[in-house]
Amino acid sequence: MRTFTKTPLAFTYDGRRVEGQDGDTVGSALHAAGVRIFSRSLQFHRPRGLFCVNGRCVSCAVRIDGHPHMRACTVRLESGMTVESEGGWPSMSFDVWRALDFFHFLFPPGFQYRFFIKPRWMFRIWERMLRQIAAHAAVPSPAEKHSSAPSYLKETADVVVVGGGAAGLAAASAACRQGLRVTLIDDNTDLGGGARRSPEALEDAAHEALALKTLTLHLDTRCFAYYGDGPVSAFRGNTLIEVTAKAVVIATGAYERPMIFGNNDLPGIFLSTGALRLLHRYGVRPGTHAVVAATTDDGIATAAALLDAGVHVEAVVDARMHGGAPSSQRLHERGIRILAGYRIEHARGLGRIRAVTVAPCDGHQTRAVHTLPCDVLVTCGGFQPANELCFQATSQGNFLMEGAGGWKSLAQGERQLAARDGTPLFVAGNAARIGSLAKARLEGRIAGLAAAAEIAGGGAALADELRRERAALAALAEPDRWEGESA
Ligand SMILES: Cc1cc2nc3c(=O)[nH]c(=O)nc-3n(C[C@H](O)[C@H](O)[C@H](O)COP(=O)(O)OP(=O)(O)OC[C@H]3O[C@@H](n4cnc5c(N)ncnc54)[C@H](O)[C@@H]3O)c2cc1C
Ligand code: FES
């Protein structure tokens, strides 16, 4: 299952001893140990497993050391941890309430609001019964609550950068070099964002930023609010962190879009970024027998990465009529079947995916419908900017989304907005528009420099540097995607 091994770490899952390894998250360790069902859906108890591997869904929610509903894929594994599944009776892997799913036609959406209120005296009884059935987490005991008392951290900075990917790192290091006090917030346990898969791409920015003494780093910290007239609010565990700054840079990257098809929530179905994260960061193969569903060249690159890691790729199901050629040619030469102009219609399996049914995109009757066996389906449905903090801060969503190539630039090169209270707000990298690593770094550097110019005025040297970076960004013949570059 593993492509590399490190020091083993032992922990317990539902009372049994499991072994992970140093650097794992609870999620990657459980997946490597063969656990596929992490949680159950609330109403029909459908099984859910790792999906985004990035803390963006709740498919992997478990109880860790008494703390309910923790996203297993974001919690770093420690020796001796006690991990328990939540919901499922008699067990998470065999849950009799799953039977509800087979009678789902009896429970139309919203039926509970009409059915469980009559007769009125029955309401309390229904309520207790539904609480028992719903696959929910148990509230921590008073002792557990006491062991994790909340704390509050209030900070000030010249610039706060949200997101420690290529763009955020470039922004932070550019602003630090101008002598500004910078706070960098990222919800991962290490820096690099999406560029972690190519460490050399990060070298300069990460090392430079970390070496600078004016940088305050908050890792494993999620920024959840910036309303444009107050501090940037984030949390790490039970600690609330509020940072008040003179300028804000949003570099939160992008979300990968899930694909729509029947049974698309079965364990074993992954977003491509999730499958690659498991593989590259934790050395865990998502499965042994994969089908890759593609709509862009990311799918081709993902299939190549899975093959290189020793995963058997049954086929690439590419919605494009050209099937990703010429990029897919190399896969074809390696014996991989490319089904061009096809889409996933249905995933099959009970507790985990066993096969997929694929059908022609155009509904062409003469082209065959195939059933492909697999234990993992990796979907690459494209990306969309993670820009909700900008919406919060400016309440200008319509304006921000305008324009053919994405957002409107207020100044040439950088994407500068103003928060409700007038604080300069910069957006850089994929959070502004999906693009390449080179674009993300340039935009990040420009955002950092522009923030410095806003705050400190800046001299001729800063103005010169900014002009050079803007010219470089303008000269970057940027395709909408990063096609042609090696992944
Ligand atoms: C599979 C794949 C292959 C690629 N191949 C190439 C390639 O070959 N060549 C190329 O040029 N580019 C490639 N790219 C694109 C490149 O990786 C991205 O353009 C670049 O990483 C974008 O950087 P970013 O800083 O904008 O976003 P990201 O790198 O995504 O960084 C955003 C960071 O912000 C954090 N974050 C998000 N929201 C919050 C929040 N609310 N609070 C705290 N932190 C938050 C995220 O966890 C993340 O660490 C590829 C991307 C993918 C996914
Ligand atoms: S949050 Fe863990 S898999 Fe999505």
Q: How many CA atoms lie within 13 A of 118 on its CB side?
A: 4
Q: Establish whether residue 413 lines the binding site of ligand 2, counting it when its CB lies within 6 angstroms of any ligand atom.
A: no
Of 319, 352, 381, which residue is a domain's last?
Answer: 381
Consecutive sets of 10 residues in the chain, 487 residues long: mean pLDDT of each? 92 97 96 96 93 94 92 95 92 91 85 82 87 76 73 96 94 93 92 68 60 86 93 94 96 95 97 95 96 94 96 96 82 91 95 95 75 97 91 70 51 68 90 89 93 88 92 75 39
Q: Where are the beta strands (DSSP E) in 44-121?
A: 47-48, 61-64, 67-71, 82-84
Residue from 231, 286, 247, 220 nearest 452 by CA: 247
**pLDDT given for residue 412 in this prediction:** 46
Residue from 6, 7, 59 nearest 31 by CA: 59
The answer to whether residues 389 and 377 belong to one domain is no
**pLDDT given for residue 363 in this prediction:** 67
Q: Establish whether residue 57 lines the binding site of ligand 1, counting it when its CB lies within 6 angstroms of any ligand atom.
A: no
Residue 122 lies inside a defined structural domain of this protein = no
Q: How many CA atoms lie within 13 A of 190 on its CB side?
A: 15
CATH number of the domain that residue 320 is part of = 3.50.50.60
CATH number of the domain that residue 60 is part of = 3.10.20.440
Q: Establish whether residue 384 lines the binding site of ligand 1, counting it when its CB lies within 6 angstroms of any ligand atom.
A: no
The answer to whether residues 249 and 388 belong to one domain is yes
Q: How many residues does the chain have?
A: 487
Q: Establish whether residue 40 lines the binding site of ligand 2, counting it when its CB lies within 6 angstroms of any ligand atom.
A: no
Q: Establish whether residue 429 lines the binding site of ligand 1, counting it when its CB lies within 6 angstroms of any ligand atom.
A: yes
**pLDDT given for residue 203 in this prediction:** 55
The answer to whether residues 142 and 31 belong to one domain is yes
Residue 112 lies inside a defined structural domain of this protein = no
The answer to whether residues 279 and 375 belong to one domain is yes
The answer to whether residues 142 and 177 belong to one domain is no
Residue 486 lies inside a defined structural domain of this protein = no
Q: Establish whether residue 386 lines the binding site of ligand 2, counting it when its CB lies within 6 angstroms of any ligand atom.
A: no
Minimum CA distance residue for ligand 1 atom 41: 223
**pLDDT given for residue 247 in this prediction:** 95
Point out the ligand 2 atom lying closest to the alpha carbon of residue 274.
Answer: 3
Q: What's the total number of domains in the chain? A: 3
Among all bound ligands, the one having the nearest atom to the CA of 255 is 1
Q: Establish whether residue 167 lines the binding site of ligand 1, counting it when its CB lies within 6 angstroms of any ligand atom.
A: yes
Minimum CA distance residue for ligand 1 atom 5: 487
Q: Establish whether residue 269 lines the binding site of ligand 2, counting it when its CB lies within 6 angstroms of any ligand atom.
A: no
The answer to whether residues 188 and 238 belong to one domain is yes
Contact (Cβ atoms closer than 8 angstroms) between residue 462 and residue 452: yes
Spacing of C-alpha 2 from chain mean position: 22
Point out the ligand 1 atom lying closest to the alpha carbon of residue 194.
Answer: 29
Residue 128 lies inside a defined structural domain of this protein = no
Residue from 269, 262, 310 nearest 293 by CA: 269
Query: For residue 58, how far is its CA from the centre of ligand 2 (angstroms)?
Result: 5
Point out the ligand 1 atom lying closest to the alpha carbon of residue 186.
Answer: 44
Residue from 300, 342, 339 nearest 319 by CA: 342
* Mutation test residue for ligand 1: of 437, 442, 473, 480, the one with most atoms within 8 Å of CB: 437
Q: Establish whether residue 215 lines the binding site of ligand 1, counting it when its CB lies within 6 angstroms of any ligand atom.
A: no
Query: For residue 165, how far is its CA from the centre of ligand 1 (angstroms)?
Result: 6
Of 328, 359, 381, which residue is a domain's last?
Answer: 381
User: Is residue 113 helix, strand or coil?
Assistant: helix
**pLDDT given for residue 208 in this prediction:** 65
The answer to whether residues 36 and 141 belong to one domain is yes
Strand partners, 154: 242
Query: For residue 273, how far is its CA from the centre of ligand 2 (angstroms)?
Result: 11
Among all bound ligands, the one having the nearest atom to the CA of 25 is 2
The answer to whether residues 223 and 315 belong to one domain is no
Among all bound ligands, the one having the nearest atom to the CA of 59 is 2
The answer to whether residues 427 and 451 belong to one domain is yes
The answer to whether residues 289 and 400 belong to one domain is no
Of 124, 146, 168, which residue is a domain's last?
Answer: 146
Would you put residue 263 in left (φ > 0), alpha (ψ -120 to 50) or beta? left
Percent of the chain scoring above 70 in pLDDT: 89
Query: For residue 255, how far is its CA from the centre of ligand 1 (angstroms)?
Result: 9
Residue 421 lies inside a defined structural domain of this protein = yes
Query: For residue 289, how far is its CA from the centre of ligand 2 (angstroms)?
Result: 21
* Mutation test residue for ligand 2: of 28, 41, 69, 73, the one with most atoms within 8 Å of CB: 73
Among all bound ligands, the one having the nearest atom to the CA of 71 is 2
Residue-range definition of the domain harbouring residue 343: 269-381
Query: For residue 370, how far is its CA from the centre of ligand 2 (angstroms)?
Result: 30
Residue 261 lies inside a defined structural domain of this protein = no
Residue 182 lies inside a defined structural domain of this protein = yes
Residue 279 lies inside a defined structural domain of this protein = yes
CB atoms within 10 A of CB 97: 17
Only one residue has tokens 């001796």, namely: 80
The answer to whether residues 35 and 88 belong to one domain is yes
The answer to whether residues 306 and 193 belong to one domain is no
